[in-house]
Structure 1
């Protein structure tokens, strides 16, 4: 069975017309003969949207009851049974009512797609998981309903339903989105022009990335290698040389000329495994690229220009930035170089050759490392000096051989010398062997002359072959040694990276690993001349105290004491130092983040408090004021029953207001650590009835099973009463008719447990921790009272009294809150 296709109508904000556009598309497909049904459409009371449903077939919704209230959801089984060609499903990010087969509506849609049913749906940009926190920072409103980006990216079609902020605000002002009483608040908060502009840009950029993915897939599927200039992508090639900073900044300026362009830095590593670039300089250049908003990449290749162009074409680059060659003019005559070769092969990609201070000045190469050890070179010279005379004696004493055989034996001797001592001993053996062949075995004998041309050719070939073999052997030995050094360096850096990532303090871990790796006495990090961190003893307080000074950044130095390092080791130390500078910045950022986290939490708490209190303080206050104003009015005559009802309303509203203010004050005291707790010995059977009396008539419906012989509690009676009032009030709110809450008490060692049991819909176990967060009201579709402080305050008060408050599932359904408190003897 073929999987259905998903078409998503993406909007930047509510009211842009996603549902309307989706229904238009549904009508178009129905007119073309497709079997289209409406599985679920939310009109939100918008008459134009409701009218667009028209004569399309509508699958009846499934009715569900949750916490005593009725809800409707899409009837997934009915849609699957109907098996239309296309189903219209609104609000992809919607969270289904608990008890539904799937938690989220997008999971329902996946089932429809798996069944071969195509789906038309809608989603707002604020519901995309990757943008959820960004939208929250922009608008100040948290969106709890999200859909994974992968679900939306997997859609065959994503259409942006766009509208300018000004047009959307006009639509809002005309009452086409929200009810009249919500318009002013919406225009002054979420629907501000700046918010809508930012959301629109987010939607456009996200969709651009989606389109880019589709374009990349199309190019890959059709094997298209040519550059399509859909977006400027600037690739800067880094060699690890000192010109890298200049190239990066130049490439960044080129990329900045076009909005939305990308900056990519790439370093091509030779595939022979030999280290050619400075790892410390590359690390610093990587940081520079990332600080300018670019990305760093590393590829491997034998042909550097081709590897660079392959990378550029793979990312659909439009421009490449290269540094002018550092080689001298004579070297450029012999070889075109990377820059010229890249330009010749670049095709439609523009290549910029950027000059710099080191251009055309020649490469400053250090002395080549010796291929073999000193002892092996001495052995090679000894073999040449002793072996050649011995070979001459053996050939002179034995039966006479042809010149060809003599040359072959001398060639074997030269190869043996090359294998033992390398290039220079082999060259000595080649020269000495040619002279010996000329003197002893080439007519006329005893003279350095050659009578026959064939013998001259044979000796010349011998010399050339001997030199070539010596050079190959020496080069192979040198490459082997370099590869071993590069492998050891890579292993060291990999070990360092692993130790840093696993450590809680990466800077100290890095310095300590450096000290252990090179057996140093101490490693010290200085910033602006002041010691920041160090390991080992004795530490260096200034550069003059150090054996080695390595610059890690513009103002960061690493001082090493203990021994002098070789040049090859120093390169690795410089890489360590560069990473130490990075680790220092990371620790600073982590410290700043830790400092900012409490401030962010406090700011979030204040925002939630204002949002909740703006409604929940005003509601009881408005009710009380309206009742008192009615009683004072001289225009209306109330009978006794009306007066009693108004007084009761005012009294109840003021009680609610008093409880709310008390909860807020207690929560603020808890968070400030200023809540006073006065423990005393009290019986649970005394506190429970007082708590139920505070709840009024509703409290008398609660069933109580608290034995009189429970041990005495050592707690604050007033705070315990407050905890029970909140817990029982919450249980009463969600208990079904005819099944009131139950309070039980039991003793367990040094603690007494009071259980508040309800038989309501309960809360999933993975959400238990959420109910204790301030200003959280789970399942608040039917709950618009209270600011969500009750359970958070109850846990805080319980813990302040030395106890615990934990949730538990009620057998048969519901939620049980367990208050555990210490007894008098504990």
Structure 2
């Protein structure tokens, strides 16, 4: 039992969670959640807003979409409206919430409809929920609306129910931080009556909607899904309340879930399903993928699938692990045993993959670990059969054949000069060379092929694969054992060396930075040290920026770091809001550079600026976590200096 529990007091980490949620000056978030369009989310939100205004609360409409419904328009007309911003795009004028105008107006509460909306290109943020996050940080409380199909972890289940996949989603971490989730609910029968009356869609669209998305079965399933989601959210709030007040209870044992993904169309679904399971079981979770050393290069579409899945895991606060090896099952099980994983979730094999999938080997060898198999939902993009079949034959087999031919030719030249038993040593050379540079399948192939070639030419009866002298058979058996041992040792060496290099890079980026920061005597020393370690990544331009009268300027690093007006404004936004921005983020992603605030607690000391020559290859989820850690270490060092 932990000390805090033993003394009847809340644990420090639980109090810290409360402190973060009630951060001084931060607005409160209220989400109106429904199971389908037309249940009355916007109408209910406006009713509550009018009631709050009657109580003396300063409340405005930041953005409300009435969809032409007279009752909703009548309520909205009674509230102050901050005019929307007009953004031109491809000859169209798009209406978007004017974030800066709302912040300047600074009401107590702002109404912002359609939480999952994607902003027009050129907006400060990609998604509206990120606009809302900025309003909350500015001390403005927000009422907003969303349907269950727009919650990222529920998206796959809704697609399976309705046959329609919604593309605009909100990561679950955002609604999970809401101060209140209000369920707006009507019966499916009442909703269908509203549809027929033209209160949801115009009449010529209502009948089609009723027979497709709004069928009774669909609505019942969506309603049940929404009720379960709200129940889970309420349960989490209750647990937080109990922990914060040290109320005794039977807490579940710690679980750790590993979600193994491969580059495919179902990778994102698998990550979201893993998140739902982790939340349900209150488990730590990790998203793991294995890059096969001997596999074909990924296609552009496969790289997109994998990157999107890893980004989804990062958004849902899972740990991202990317390993490199020759066998997926070996790497997954090795990581699971070393990291006390209690559950592994994998995709159920489909198509030709049923014959070659590593899932079966994991099932056989995962003693003591629970295995969950996920069935992908909906119609997925089919992977060509040639991409599903393992790449058995490749250039390393051809190279092995060349080596065997060279050894065989040398043996022919030396035939009659030395004994056949000694010629066998020449046949071992291509096996050793193959083991040092190629995969294990090629090594086994080289061993068998070289033995057969030697037996065919040098062992009586000649030009036959039969053996008269059993001493040769013993030598051949020993030869195979030696080949396999050499192959295993060489494989371990090849697998270990890249990991040592990767570990050295991470240690240099984190532990090395921490050590050097401890020696820094002044604030400038800290900035110089941070800039020096930033240069340890891929080629590019790097700098530490600090605010000034004319905007951010280079304090350390490359004095010629490119800072045109657009990049300067992105860096300034990252500093003002304490969030990463620019390339590779959802905040002002059209920039060239990647900007990470040097932040500890509520203090922000500057911005790390990265302008990589190959940003797509460097801005991986793993590297982004390293950047965040480096920024935190530097901020803590600056904070200690006062």
Normalised TM-score (structure 1): 0.31
Rg comparison, structure with higher value: 1
Normalised TM-score (structure 2): 0.39
Higher relative contact order (CA 8 A, sep 6+): 2
